[in-house]
């Protein structure tokens, strides 16, 4: 980006109005998209999977984003390694299948062979001064926390412990380290990643667009908390329910409360525990549990845990299963939404849990969102798209937007 472009972008950022969505350029410009990737996606700790997907030595899967492909593989010591899928010789991809199992990582081109930790094992016919140690596969920053595989593409990643700290008790409560994947689905969405997240960060559209969601959650909850705590108008009704439930859950020793960012930082995290409607125990059609209880729960407490680790991941969890979202920007007009449903590792399919019951709500809702977002993208392309005023239920979207704009401003400098 040259100086002129930079200065025009800075002006654009300044001209965005509070309580209105972003202007058109933010939703389609390839220059802004590339800046977004560098500034946000490639700088955050992203959950790309759960280690139960690769239980045995040599098991691997790929995480692909734009031109990057990461091999996520379990090595001989049981450690999960995240390695760039690029041979150090002439750059060929090494793993060609999206998942599989292998003893060594052998490049299909010239047969350079790497150990499962990425170290070069053998390369034929190299000059005498060739030093194998210098040609290990590039590593991607990664950490396993509670079974969740986090990666970070940054050269200077934020400290993971500092990052995870406020979310830790919420995640640990659910015992994801003792979980397994019940189902995994992808929802390719032809919309800019920010339009896709705008949708996820407000529940103003839930009533007209999501019958399944509205069947499961109470209208008071949706209004006030549908897109996170205090993202809609205050509901004294729901606050009363929440206080009552908090007392009960605390009494039986379950973690409660909420976390929101109090000051601007690299992180955009949130977490909260809230009660389902009276009588409901899980985020299912019937409200009844659909699998065995997980983690530290002593009994089904009728509570719901919602966590955002970054704009790119959300964890929505009942006592018996977890629904984990990853939002992967594919291009200025394309985002892939991946959902992974986790249950207790010992739960038996068809006996202890039923995949359809677990996936029902968010599968249907995400299909609906895909359509909504694509219509939104189509409309936003018009020269007559001018941001309109946000409603009282779009506070979450406004928060995300502010954080985004502040970040860009910081990156572009003064």
Q: Which is nearer to its own copies, 251 or 383 (CB)?
A: 383
Euclidean distance between CA atoms 377 and 118, whole angstroms: 41
Q: Which is nearer to its own copies, 307 or 372 (CB)?
A: 372
Q: DSSP 3-state assignment of 203?
A: coil
61 binds its own copies (CB under 8 A): no
Euclidean distance between CA atoms 262 and 257, whole angstroms: 15
Q: How far is the CB of 208 from its own copies (least distance, A)?
A: 4
Tokens of 293: 């209880």
Q: What is the largest CA-CA distance in the chain?
A: 77
82 binds its own copies (CB under 8 A): no
Q: Which is nearer to its own copies, 38 or 247 (CB)?
A: 38
DSSP state of 137: P
End-to-end alpha carbon distance in the chain: 15
Q: Which is nearer to its own copies, 100 or 387 (CB)?
A: 387
197 binds its own copies (CB under 8 A): no
Q: Which is nearer to its own copies, 179 or 224 (CB)?
A: 224
Paired strand residues for 9: none
46 binds its own copies (CB under 8 A): no
Euclidean distance between CA atoms 8 and 103, whole angstroms: 52
β-strand pairing of 334-344 with 179-189: antiparallel
Query: Cα dihedral sign for 19, 264, 49, 137?
Result: positive
Q: DSSP 3-state assignment of 224?
A: helix
Binding mask 266-285 for its own copies (x = CB under 8 A): --------------------
**Applying CB under 8 A, which of residues 102, 136, 154, 209 lies at the interface with its own copies?**
209
Nearest to 174 by CA among 314, 272, 293: 293
Q: How far is the CB of 385 from its own copies (least distance, A)?
A: 4
67 binds its own copies (CB under 8 A): yes
Q: How far is the CB of 92 from its own copies (least distance, A)?
A: 4
Contacts (CB under 8 A) with its own copies, residues 86-125: 86-94, 96, 108-111, 123-125
Contacts (CB under 8 A) with its own copies, residues 348-407: 371-372, 375-376, 378-389, 391-393
Helix 3-14 and helix 30-39: axis angle, to 10°?
80
371: exposed, middle or buried (Cβ count in 10 Å: 0-12, 13-18, 19+): exposed
b/e for 378-399, b at 16 or more Cβ within 10 A?
eebeeeeeeeeebeebbbbbbb
Euclidean distance between CA atoms 73 and 331, whole angstroms: 27
Q: How far is the CB of 63 from its own copies (least distance, A)?
A: 13
Q: How far is the CB of 17 from its own copies (least distance, A)?
A: 13
Paired strand residues for 260: 270
18 binds its own copies (CB under 8 A): no
Q: How far is the CB of 278 from its own copies (least distance, A)?
A: 24
161 binds its own copies (CB under 8 A): no
Q: Which is nearer to its own copies, 263 or 384 (CB)?
A: 384
Radius of gyration of the chain (CA): 23
**Applying CB under 8 A, which of residues 11, 127, 133, 236 lies at the interface with its own copies?**
127
Q: Interface with its own copies by CB under 8 A: which range of 143-151, 170-178, 206-214, 334-342? A: 206-214
234 binds its own copies (CB under 8 A): no
CA angle 21–22–25, rounded 5-degree value: 150
243 binds its own copies (CB under 8 A): no
Q: How many residues bind its own copies (CB under 8 A)?
A: 57
The residue ranges that bind its own copies (CB under 8 A) are: 19, 21, 24, 67-69, 84-94, 96, 108-111, 123-127, 130, 135, 138, 198, 204-205, 207-209, 232-233, 371-372, 375-376, 378-389, 391-393
């Amino acid at each position: 980006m040259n100086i002129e472009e930079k200065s025009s972008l800075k002006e654009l950022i300044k001209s965005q109005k509070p309580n209105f969505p972003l202007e058109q350029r933010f939703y389609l410009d390839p220059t802004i998209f590339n800046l977004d990737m560098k500034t946000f996606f490639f700088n955050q700790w992203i959950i790309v999977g759960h280690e139960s997907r690769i239980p045995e030595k040599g098991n691997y899967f790929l995480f692909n984003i734009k031109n990057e492909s990461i091999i996520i593989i379990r090595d001989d010591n049981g450690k999960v390694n995240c390695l760039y899928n690029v041979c150090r010789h002439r750059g060929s991809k090494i793993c060609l299948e999206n998942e599989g199992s292998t003893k060594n990582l052998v490049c299909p081109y010239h047969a350079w062979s790497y150990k499962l930790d990425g170290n070069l094992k053998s390369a034929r016919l190299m000059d005498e001064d060739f030093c194998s140690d210098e040609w290990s596969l590039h590593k991607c920053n990664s950490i396993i926390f509670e079974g969740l595989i986090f990666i970070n593409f940054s050269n200077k990643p934020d400290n993971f412990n500092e990052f995870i700290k406020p979310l830790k008790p919420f995640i640990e409560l659910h015992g994801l380290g003792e979980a397994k994947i019940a189902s995994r689905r992808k929802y390719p969405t032809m919309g800019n990643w920010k339009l896709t997240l705008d949708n996820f960060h407000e529940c103003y559209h839930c009533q007209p667009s999501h019958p399944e969601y509205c069947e499961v959650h109470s209208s008071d909850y949706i209004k006030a908390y549908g897109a996170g705590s205090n993202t809609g108008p205050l509901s004294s009704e729901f606050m009363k329910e929440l206080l009552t439930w908090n007392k009960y859950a605390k009494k039986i020793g379950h973690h409660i409360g909420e976390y929101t960012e109090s000051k601007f930082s690299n992180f955009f995290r949130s977490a909260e525990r809230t009660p389902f409607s009276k009588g409901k125990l899980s985020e299912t059609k019937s409200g009844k549990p659909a699998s065995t209880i997980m983690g530290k729960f002593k009994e089904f407490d009728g509570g719901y845990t919602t966590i955002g680790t970054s704009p790119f991941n959300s964890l929505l969890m009942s006592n018996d299963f977890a629904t984990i979202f990853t939002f992967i920007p594919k291009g200025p007009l394309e985002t892939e939404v991946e959902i992974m449903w986790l249950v207790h590792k010992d739960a038996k399919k068809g006996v202890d849990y039923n995949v359809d019951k677990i996936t029902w709500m968010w599968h249907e809702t995400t299909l609906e969102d895909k359509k909504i977002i694509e219509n939104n993208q189509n409309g936003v392309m018009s020269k007559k798209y001018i941001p309109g005023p946000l409603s009282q239920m779009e506070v979450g979207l406004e928060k995300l937007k502010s954080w985004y704009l502040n970040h860009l401003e910081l990156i572009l400098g003064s």
